[in-house]
Structure 1
Amino acid sequence: MPEITASAVKALRERTGLPMMDCKRALEEAGGDPEKAIEILRKSGQKVMEKRAGRETAFGRIGLYSDPDRTALVELFCESAPVAKAEDFVKLVGELARQLALGPGASTAEELLDQPSSEPGKKLRDLYEETINRIREAFRIGRLLRVEGKCGAYLHHDGSKAAVVQVEGDDLQVAREIAMHVVAMRPTALRREDLDPALVEKEREILTEATRKEGKPENLIPKIVEGRLKDFYSQHCLVDQPFVKDPKKTVGKVAEEAGLKLVRYWYWEVGKE
């Protein structure tokens, strides 16, 4: 058996990011051949994945990629909070989002993993398995979103929340600020007509009963209730909410002044559909 030098072990560790002893054992098993050693390490990692399959993956983060023509979000889960903040994990979810946006698209995690990564000669699946092998936790890809066209997008600093606002218009900076607003205020719907009618009717009934108890004239109650529903709409509807950066204006007014038409929005929070 050829001598396994410290420099060979170090070189393999730099390529794989795995512990020195794992790299040394793999090189010994491979007779000093680094390519065979990498394959041995990959198979070892797959065994780890199989053992950890089924473990709860309650933590994670969202990856975001956005440019003027397309935007993508990817949700990636892991087993523990520290891993969700780890550099390798953050890099991986960013890679997934980038390829989802720039590639042909994907409707499932498997479709996405079979696509190329930014590293020459490697698929996303290779990066995914290599990262699992280094971190030794179970991973799971959750939701995927790809939006064609102009959007404002915002990812919270810890990767736990994100929003995408699809627009017609050119001021994508304001569109991004509206996406930040969505993350902060979590509206229920874009406009009043998008709200669940049952939710609105329930609120109307509550307000009607409260107004009646105040002793208001019966014939005026419907008009009073409709006026009071404005507060309800300002809580639930994005266009009616006071804009977080300028509460004197509604989000709808801010968009209008920026020459934007709000088409649709998405709000994600890790683990909450």
Structure 2
Amino acid sequence: MAEITATLVRELRDETGLPMMDCKKALTEAGGDKEKAKETLRKNGVALQGKRGDRETAFGRFGIYHGVDKSSGAVVELKCESAPVANSAEFIQLANDLAQALATGPGAKTADELLDQPSPSKPGKTLRDVKDDMFNRIREVFNVGRLMRFDGGTGAYSHNSGTVSGVLLLVEGGTNEAAKDVAMHVAAMRPLALNKEEIDPALVDKEREILKEAALKEGKPANIVDKMVEGRLRNFYAEKALLEQPFVKEPSLTVSKFAEAAGMKIKKFLHWELGRE
């Protein structure tokens, strides 16, 4: 058996980021073979992840890959157990790598499909390898949540202080700055749909009934109530439909008019808040 020297243990620790005692034990089991020891450490970490899989992952962030000149964009929800880890550079890198892989690779319908794809920033490793290595060093559970890819030009915004949220827009034309401005608007104003036609009809009918009842209580003639209600529904649409909303940075314009002035067509959007399906 090869001698397990302090230098060899230190090399393995530097390469894996794991405690000295764990590295020494793995080297002893591997007969001094450093690569075998790494594999042992990795397997031990995967086993430990399985035991801790039910831990709550209430923190995290959204990795986003976007650009109005790119062929696709994506957003991926990555969750962890604590705020310090969620704000660490390597966690941010993994979240963004997940989004980049989803946008530029073959696509994925599930977290497992995505994790088995190559890491954009760690050549020779899959995203799962990177995730497992991080768990081995940090000993926090990481869970990949929702993921979505839009094919076409995209704009995005991620808000990571207070309520963590991510916005992705599918656009045609425009600039990254204009698209980001609209994405920030979405995060602030939380529209329910792109336009009034896409609002849930049940919500519209409920609002219509509320407005009708209010008009009748005001003593309005029954024969004009329906027309009044349809007029008042414009305020409801302006509150719930993105394209109808007054643009937060220039309230004299609707989002639709702002986009038009920027030479941009907004085709679709998503707005996710961490942990809220």
TM-score by length of 2: 0.91
Identical-residue share of aligned pairs (%): 57
CA distance in 2, matches of 1:13, 1:90: 23
Secondary structure of residue in 1 paired with 2:220: coil
SS in 2 for 1:60: strand
Instruction: State the SS of the aligned residue for 2:66.
Output: strand
What letter corresponds to residue 249 of structure 1 in structure 2?
L
Question: 1:134 — aligned with what?
Answer: 137
String of CA shifts for 1:132-188, please: whole Å, max 9, x gaps: 111212222111111111111111134921111111223332112101111111100
Q: Is 1:225 matched with 2:229?
A: yes
- Residue 198 of structure 1: which of 193, 197, 202 is its match? 202
- Give the SS at the match of 2:229: helix
Q: Distance in 1 between matches of 2:179 and 2:91?
A: 28
Q: Is the 8 A contact 1:162 1:267 kept in 2?
A: yes
In the alignment, the residues of structure 2 paired with residue 192 and residue 125 of structure 1 have an alpha-carbon distance, to the nearest angstrom, of: 41
Aligned residue type for 1:79: E
Aligned to 2:54: 54
Misfit runs of 4+, over 6 Å: none
Asked if 1 retains the 8 angstrom alpha-carbon contact of 2:66 and 2:153, the reply is no
1:258 lines up with 2:273 in the alignment = no
Distance 1:55 1:141 in 2: 14
1:261 partner amino acid: K
Alignment-mate amino acid for residue 244 of structure 1: V
CA contact (8 A) 1:96 1:112 kept: yes
Q: In the alignment, what sits opposite 1:36?
A: 36
Q: Is the 8 A contact 1:116 1:123 kept in 2?
A: yes
- Residue identity matched to 2:110: T
- Aligned to 2:146, the other structure's residue is in SS state strand
In structure 2, distance between residues paired with 1:25 and 1:245: 59
The residue type equivalent to 2:105 in the other structure is G
Name the SS for the 1:204 alignment partner: helix
Paired with 1:253 and 1:76, the residues of 2 have a C-alpha distance of: 34
Counterpart code for 1:63: G
Structure 1 counterpart SS, 2:18: coil
Within 5 Å, give how 1:135-150 maps onto structure 2: 135-150=138-153
Q: Could you list the per-position Cα deviations for residues 39-81 of structure 1 after superposition, in whole angstroms to 9, with x for gaps in the alignment?
A: 1211110121121123333332211111322211111222334
Query: Structure 2 CA distance, aligned partners of 1:215 and 1:247?
Result: 33
**Deviation (angstroms), 1:116:** 1.1
Give the secondary-structure state (helix, strand or coil) at the position aligned to 1:54. Answer: coil
AA partner of residue 36 (structure 2): K
| Of 218, 222, 237, the match for 1:214 | 218
Q: Which residue matches 1:178?
A: 182
Name whichever of 214-223 and 39-48 sits farther off. Answer: 214-223
Q: 1:177-225 CA distances to partner (integer Å, 9 max, x unpaired)?
A: 1011111111001111111111111111111111121122223322222
Question: What is the DSSP-based 3-state SS (H/G/I as helix, E as strand, rest coil) of the residue aligned with 1:173?
Answer: helix
- Greater alpha carbon shift after TM alignment, 204-213 vs 134-143: 134-143
Amino acid in the other structure paired with 2:245: Q
Matched, 1:235 2:239: yes
SS in 1 for 2:54: coil
Matched, 1:82 2:110: no
Corresponding position of 1:120: 123
SS at match of 1:138: coil
Q: Which moved more, 1:124-133 or 1:51-60?
A: 51-60
| Runs of 5+ unmatched residues, structure 2 | none
Cα distance 1:97–1:26, how it changes in 2: closer, same or farther (>3 A)? same
Root-mean-square deviation (CA, aligned residues, Å) is 1.9
Q: State TM-score, norm by structure 1.
A: 0.92
In the TM superposition, residue 3 of structure 1 has moved relative to its aligned partner by 4.3
Moved more, 210-219 or 182-191: 210-219
